[in-house]
Amino acid sequence: MCCHNQVLSQPPVKNFDTADGLAIGLGLALDVGFRLIKGKPKTAKEVPVNSDFERIAINNLSLKAKKHSDLILRGLSPAVTVGSQFIYDDPSRSIYLTLETIILTDVANLLAKKLVQRPRPFTYNSEVNHHHAGCKAYDKTKPDANLSFYSGHTTHVASVIFFTNTMLWFYKPEYRSQDWAWVVSSMLPALVGYQRVMAGKHFPSDVFVGYLTGAAIGYLVPRLHDNNEYSSDLTEDFLIGLGAGMAVQYALLKLLGNRKVVQHDCLPETSSVKWKISPMLGRYPGLRLSVNFY
């Protein structure tokens, strides 16, 4: 990799322009619009699960896994998003790119969920009653029960991780020789995907598509705004991180499929503590701070 120490003659990222303003404004409008759309509910019987690999998600009802994935999404994810602004030391450019990345990630995920209307794995589980007392997370009557494809948690965490890595590559030349950082950080969205399947919230295909989509958006948004002629090194680092993350996610899900004891901990909610940056920013999972304790 010959160009890791390339000296930048101009800011790595272009200035905010009209196109970016339109993209953010349109994205916000679409996001609100998609959330208002109520699709026709499907039942699990209408959408059979024919793959053995997909069926490993059906018998899982782990609120502990759900809580852990929520903690990463709603705690660590915004911390990385906010903290990275100080690392880039270029808020006039990095903030609008962060917003574009988060909004595009959210809109793409919502569009897929509303169009596909795939029942979540727990809707196939005979242990979950139609009105499961004290367990709101597994209520089959809620519209959310039909929004399995694809995993929003995995998508947003992957988007934040790969966006941060790409921006660090732009702004910190010393980071360009740290391939291991891409590999290590890529494991976080893989862990979230594993937890979402363990929680009975998503099928393996949901988290794989979520990982791939989030990583692609997190990488491509800053790349489409870069101000310099970069070599293939950045693409190589991205592919290394993506390959490692997808491989780890597959390995974790295979281990989950081989488990002999399935955790069922659908317990009543005992307390709830929530923090939100603001009502508007709280709409976006990538910027929301919210934790539920069961």
Q: Is 131 exposed, middle or buried (0-12, 13-18, 19+ CB in 10 A)?
A: exposed
Nearest residue to 152 (alpha-carbon basis) of 31, 60, 264:
31
Q: CA-CA distance, 70 to 262, in Å (whole number)? A: 20
Domain holding 231, by residue range, is: 49-266
Nearest residue to 147 (alpha-carbon basis) of 196, 183, 98, 101:
196
Number of domains in the chain: 1
159: phi then psi, degrees, rounded to nearest 5: -60, -45
pLDDT, one tens digit per residue, over 67-79 is 888 888 888 777 7
DSSP state at residue 186: T
Q: CA-CA distance, 294 to 292, in Å (whole number)? A: 7
Inside any domain, residue 194: yes
Which residues neighbour 146 within 8 Å (Cβ) at sequence distance 6 or greater? 39, 41, 42, 117, 118, 119, 120, 123
Inside any domain, residue 109: yes
Give the pair of three-digit tokens for residue 240: 């290394």
Q: What is the pLDDT of residue 135?
A: 66
Inside any domain, residue 294: no
Per-residue pLDDT of the chain (294 residues), as tens digits, is: 444 444 445 667 777 777 777 877 887 887 777 777 776 656 555 566 777 888 888 877 777 888 888 888 888 777 777 777 777 777 777 788 888 898 999 999 999 998 888 999 988 877 776 444 456 778 787 888 888 998 999 999 999 999 999 988 888 888 888 889 999 999 999 999 999 998 889 999 999 999 999 999 999 998 888 877 666 788 899 999 999 999 999 999 988 876 654 555 554 443 344 444 433 444 444 444 443 333
Question: Is there a contact between 134 and 268 (Cβ–Cβ < 8 Å)?
Answer: yes
Q: What is the pLDDT of residue 4?
A: 45
Q: CA-CA distance, 174 to 236, in Å (whole number)? A: 16
Which CATH number do you get for residue 205?
A: 1.20.144
Nearest residue to 289 (alpha-carbon basis) of 132, 107, 78:
78
Alpha helices in 143-258 (DSSP H): 152-171, 179-185, 187-198, 204-224, 233-257
Which residues neighbour 169 within 8 Å (Cβ) at sequence distance 6 or greater? 175, 176, 234, 237
Which residues neighbour 80 within 8 Å (Cβ) at sequence distance 6 or greater? 160, 161, 164
Inside any domain, residue 205: yes
Residue whose structure tokens are 């030349």: 173
DSSP state at residue 10: S
Inside any domain, residue 81: yes
Inside any domain, residue 34: no
Reported pTM: 0.81
Strand-pairing partners, residue 291, are 273
Inside any domain, residue 132: yes
Question: Is there a contact between 200 and 125 (Cβ–Cβ < 8 Å)?
Answer: yes
> Looking at this protein, which amino acid is placed at residue 50?
N
Inside any domain, residue 61: yes
Q: CA-CA distance, 147 to 41, in Å (whole number)? A: 9
pLDDT, one tens digit per residue, over 36-61 is 777 665 655 556 677 788 888 887 77
